[in-house]
Amino acid sequence: MDRQKEFVLRTIEERDIRFVRLWFTDVLGFLKSVAIAPAELEGAFTEGIGFDGSSIEGFSRVSEADTVAMPDPSTFQILPWVHKDGKPHTARMFCDIAMPDGSPSWSDSRHVLRRQLNKAGDLGFSCYVHPEIEFFLLKNSPDDGSEPIPADKGGYFDQAVHDTAPNFRRHAIEALESMGISVEFSHHETAPGQQEIDLRYADALSMADNVMTFRYVVKEVALLEGVHASFMPKPFSQHAGSAMHTHMSLFEGESNAFFNPDDPMELSDTAKQFIAGILHHANEISAVTNQWVNSYKRLIHGGEAPTAGSWGRANRSALVRVPMYTPNKAGSRRIEVRSPDSACNPYLTFAVLLAAGLRGVEHGYELPAEAEDDVWSLTRAERRAMGYRELPGNLDHALREMEKSELVAEALGEHVFDYFLRNKRAEWEQYRTQVTPYELKTYLSL
């Protein structure tokens, strides 16, 4: 047994941990969990925990249902919730999903991302990610389709006083940092009830684990404070939606591969080719970075979200932004991709963003001209004249782009690629058949 496993077993005994939750993520990005007693953990490290993979979204067919969850001891953390005696008694670990013969499961989201990171490693790169995660705090969570009520009336950077959860962000950050997830800063976003918490950069796989933990912790803290947290991309028609702006950089050893001090923008050729790759393949990867019907209610003109494939320095109307907060600081040169929303599967999202960027690097894509205009204010005709390609405006368009993408099929693997398309086609068809209150209000008198 290696030292990390020994550390986990010793910590569980010393801290009187009574339940160990083994976490993994299905293809759609929902967190799954099985709890085991500490006495079973040593066996789980050796043999894993078997479960019915056919009951998990996108995992396996009934005829191939036997699936094994293998705990990753490097992800061990004690959950911050305390019991009546004032002590925490529950820990968690993420799992890698395997087949009974020990081979990785092609349906495992962690495996999908790890394969892409291995490809980056073969090219000499490691990938670091820093997400800005937005979400809403709500006073209620109605299940009848009616509009929820925001927890406050604050706006951007307001020192908003929450009616029912005045200390929410502080408590959420304390819970995250107690689990080793570093937070850079937090603030109120533009819409009533909307919050943003930014996580400190980490390698892409650790960050995907952190995002899954973040969503769990935020929802738990909200419930403890009598409110509800929602990562729905756009719950309010009249307000901007919730993004997960994703900062990315590639490193070669200790050196930032995106930094070139001799370039006017301090961008290396690698960085420019990486940006070009994301722009070139943006439409193909949209169904993954924005996977829900509701995601495209956020990606609209005037909605503070990108709607065309463009890039720019400090230009928040562009799909890819080059932050310029810290000029001449090599380690900080990075790009920010502004399309993903906070309800995506982070493993698959980071995988396709990395795949698109690396394709640009491998094939030497040329970076188009920088967008110096407010892209949001341009008409479609003006965008076309400037060479900006429109991003998909709905899930159907995004799926049609994804279906013909060799890059996404390769990045996700055949199993995940096929399942994802089938599942999202069903979601789109179900949505298309719904008669909405808007339609009844507008057309019933015809």
Q: Which residues participate in the annotated binding site?
A: 132, 134, 184, 189, 196, 245, 247-249, 298, 304, 316, 336, 338
**Token pair of 438 as six digits:** 């808007």
Helix (H, G, I), strand (E, B) or coil at 320: strand
Question: Residue 187's beta-bridge partner residues?
Answer: 196
Please tell me what DSSP assigns to residue 75.
G
Buried b (16+ CB within 10 A) or exposed e, 264-297: eebbbebbbbbbbbbbbbbbbbbbbbbbbbbbbb
CB 249 within 8 A of CB 335: yes
Nearest CA among 267, 253, 273, 252 for reference residue 362:
273
CB atoms within 10 A of CB 393: 14
Write out the binding residues for Mg(2+): 132, 134, 189, 196, 245, 336
3-state helix, strand, coil in the chain (%, to 5): 40, 20, 40
Write out the binding residues for ATP: 184, 247-249, 316
CA distance 66 to 160: 50
CA distance 149 to 236: 10
Amino acid code (one letter) for 185? F
CA distance 377 to 307: 11
Nearest CA among 170, 223, 224 for reference residue 195:
170
| H-type alpha helices, 21-70 | 41-47
Count of alpha carbons within 13 Å of 433, Cβ hemisphere only? 5
Nearest CA among 370, 243, 246, 238 for reference residue 302:
238
Write out the binding residues for L-glutamate: 298, 304, 316, 338
Please tell me what DSSP assigns to residue 149.
-
CB 219 within 8 A of CB 229: yes
Question: Residue 202's beta-bridge partner residues?
Answer: 129
CA distance 220 to 228: 9
CA distance 225 to 166: 9
